[in-house]
Structure 1
Amino acid sequence: MPMITVDWLEGRSPQQKRELADALTNAFVDIAKVQKEQVWIVFRDVKRSDWAMAGVPLG
């Protein structure tokens, strides 16, 4: 069972999450030949203040 974790900055809409979940699921079905019901996806929305790039906090 594939488990996909998406870590990204907060602020995406429920519609964006639905669209991405659908696209990721379909990619696994097409490429990995798994059944749709086997694909699990977790979205983890991270505050800008909790994310850093190149040692610099974003928030």
Structure 2
Amino acid sequence: MPIINLQILEGRPESKVKSLISALTDATSEHLEVPKERVRVIVQEIPQSRWAVGGEIMQDRKN
């Protein structure tokens, strides 16, 4: 049973997260030749105050 553990920044629309889960499930099922029902996807949404890049907290970064 494949398990995909995905960590993303919180704040994305629910529809985008659902679409990504579906796409990951489809790709995993196809490439590993397992039924979709056997694929597990765990999405952890991390607050921007708890995610840093280059020592800078994401909520403090300017785009």
Long gaps (5+) in structure 2: none
Q: For the residues of structure 2 that align with 1:52 and 1:28, how far apart are their CA atoms? A: 29
The match for 1:41 is 41
CA apart distance, 1:29: 1.1
- What is the root-mean-square deviation of aligned Cα atoms in Å? 0.9
Runs of 4 or more above 3 Å deviation: none
For 1:1-59, list aligned pairs within 5 A: 1-59=1-59
Kindly state the Cα deviation for residue 39 of structure 1 after the two structures are TM-superposed: 0.6
Name the % identity: 34
Name structure 1 gaps, 5 residues minimum.
Answer: none
Q: Provide TM-score, normalisation by structure 2.
A: 0.84
- The number of residue pairs the alignment matches comes to 59
